[in-house]
């Protein structure tokens, strides 16, 4: 591999699929995005993902079969086995039980293929190309699901089973809401976009809320909370309080220099960041809080693609 060869990066989420060609310096040469349509099942979704990868290559001027591309990086919701590229039944991807995603991608593109948990991968992408100038950070994705990854002393944390950084399933209320993983009170059960929408839908039943009658999304909750709807505000405030507490726990345990928030729900901007940042740094132990800041990712929708690319470069030995 020469230093100039780009990689193809694929990002699999519960709501959207994304693909892009990413250069070694983090330049995104192409970016494509479509809905996941998870209800179609894994076979159909994987085909859509592979077709999207071909589209990304074509838009970067790199047609399949003649591509000076070093490898493919894939980020997908976990659990999964990074060593085999097999997806092991993520809560956000129903029916994805023992799906050999890495093998299917490698066969289509005839390139080395590396699979990693999407949020873990995004943490490495933020470290490599976020421009933060830190050696330790925690990345949290607040999207359809909720997860994260940890970089410590410039190295991605994997853990003994290579599932480390499964931050969405840190329990923040042991008698709390049922999570898709089967446990109760996981952070994902409160702060994911899916949970925000579900809790708002439950709360508006029989009320005169401005949310009543809508097929509610997290975006709706944020917008109606800004407009002053009391139910939307209560759900949003609970969400930011829970996320703030979760970040405080991570600041105490990991003592990162930075906590980066990304994912679709962070499009709310300061409406999300300000209360979460304030709550987290107020509740964390003072020495850890003073050493840390909480920020939004600068990469927007491309953060997952950049994460998948960072994994490909890391596995190729280009750390």
91 and 170 in a single domain? The answer is no
pLDDT at 180 over 70: yes
Per-residue pLDDT tens digits for 192-235: 999 999 999 999 988 999 999 899 999 999 999 999 999 999 99
How many separate domains does the chain show? 2
- Length of the chain, please? 319
73 and 175 in a single domain? The answer is no
137 and 272 in a single domain? The answer is yes
100 and 150 in a single domain? The answer is no
**Is 229 part of a structural domain of the chain?**
yes
217 and 108 in a single domain? The answer is no
Q: Domain range for residue 136?
A: 132-297
72 and 50 in a single domain? The answer is yes
**Is 62 part of a structural domain of the chain?**
yes
pLDDT at 16 over 50: yes
What is the reported pLDDT for 2?
Answer: 45
What is the reported pLDDT for 77?
Answer: 87
109 and 159 in a single domain? The answer is no
99 and 177 in a single domain? The answer is no
What is the reported pLDDT for 45?
Answer: 95
What does pLDDT average to over the chain?
92
What is the reported pLDDT for 133?
Answer: 93
**Is 242 part of a structural domain of the chain?**
yes
**Is 46 part of a structural domain of the chain?**
yes
What is the reported pLDDT for 44?
Answer: 95
156 and 283 in a single domain? The answer is yes
pLDDT at 318 over 60: yes
CATH number assigned to the domain comprising residue 192: 3.30.420.40
What is the reported pLDDT for 1?
Answer: 43
pLDDT, average across residues 264-289: 96
**Is 30 part of a structural domain of the chain?**
yes
**Is 158 part of a structural domain of the chain?**
yes
pLDDT, average across residues 11-29: 93
**Is 152 part of a structural domain of the chain?**
yes
% of the chain surpassing 90 pLDDT: 75
112 and 253 in a single domain? The answer is no
Q: Considering the entire predicted model, what is its pTM?
A: 0.91
pLDDT, average across residues 146-171: 83
Per-residue pLDDT tens digits for 74-124: 999 888 999 899 999 888 888 999 999 999 999 999 999 999 999 999 999
96 and 140 in a single domain? The answer is no
42-59 vs 101-109: helix axis angle to the nearest 10? Answer: 40
**Is 2 part of a structural domain of the chain?**
no
CB-count exposure of residue 156 (10 Å: 0-12, 13-18, 19+): buried
Q: Per-residue confidence at 14, pLDDT binned at 50, 70, 90?
A: confident
36 and 146 in a single domain? The answer is no
Smallest Cα–Cα separation from 305: which of 242, 262, 260?
A: 262
């Amino acid at each position: 591999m020469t230093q100039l060869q780009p990689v193809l990066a694929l990002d699999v989420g519960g709501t959207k699929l994304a693909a892009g060609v990413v250069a070694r310096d983090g330049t995104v040469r192409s970016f494509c995005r479509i809905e996941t349509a998870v209800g179609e099942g894994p076979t159909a979704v994987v085909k859509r993902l592979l077709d999207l990868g071909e589209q990304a290559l074509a838009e970067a001027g790199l047609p399949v079969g003649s591509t000076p591309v070093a490898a493919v990086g894939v980020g997908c919701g976990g659990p999964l086995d990074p060593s085999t590229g097999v997806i092991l039944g993520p809560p956000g991807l129903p029916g994805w039980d023992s799906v050999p995603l890495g093998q299917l991608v490698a066969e289509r593109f005839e390139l080395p293929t590396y699979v990693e948990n999407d949020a873990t991968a995004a943490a490495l992408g933020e470290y490599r190309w976020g421009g933060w100038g830190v050696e330790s950070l925690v990345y949290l994705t607040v999207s359809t699901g909720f997860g994260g990854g940890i970089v410590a002393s410039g190295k991605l944390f994997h853990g003994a089973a290579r599932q480390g950084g499964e931050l969405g399933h840190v329990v923040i209320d042991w008698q709390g809401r049922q999570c898709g993983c089967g446990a109760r009170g996981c952070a994902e059960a409160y702060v994911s976009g899916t949970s925000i929408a579900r809790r708002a839908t439950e709360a508006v039943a029989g009320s005169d809320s401005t949310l009543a009658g809508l097929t509610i999304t997290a975006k709706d909750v944020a917008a109606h909370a800004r407009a002053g709807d009391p139910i939307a505000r209560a759900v949003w405030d609970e969400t930011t309080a829970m996320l703030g507490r979760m970040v405080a726990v991570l600041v105490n345990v990991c003592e990162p220099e930075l906590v980066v928030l990304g994912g679709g729900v962070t499009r709310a901007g300061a409406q999300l960041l300000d209360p979460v940042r304030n709550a987290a740094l107020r509740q964390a132990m003072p020495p850890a809080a003073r050493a840390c800041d909480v920020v939004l990712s600068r990469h927007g929708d491309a953060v997952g693609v950049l994460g998948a690319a960072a994994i490909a470069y890391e596995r190729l030995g280009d750390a």
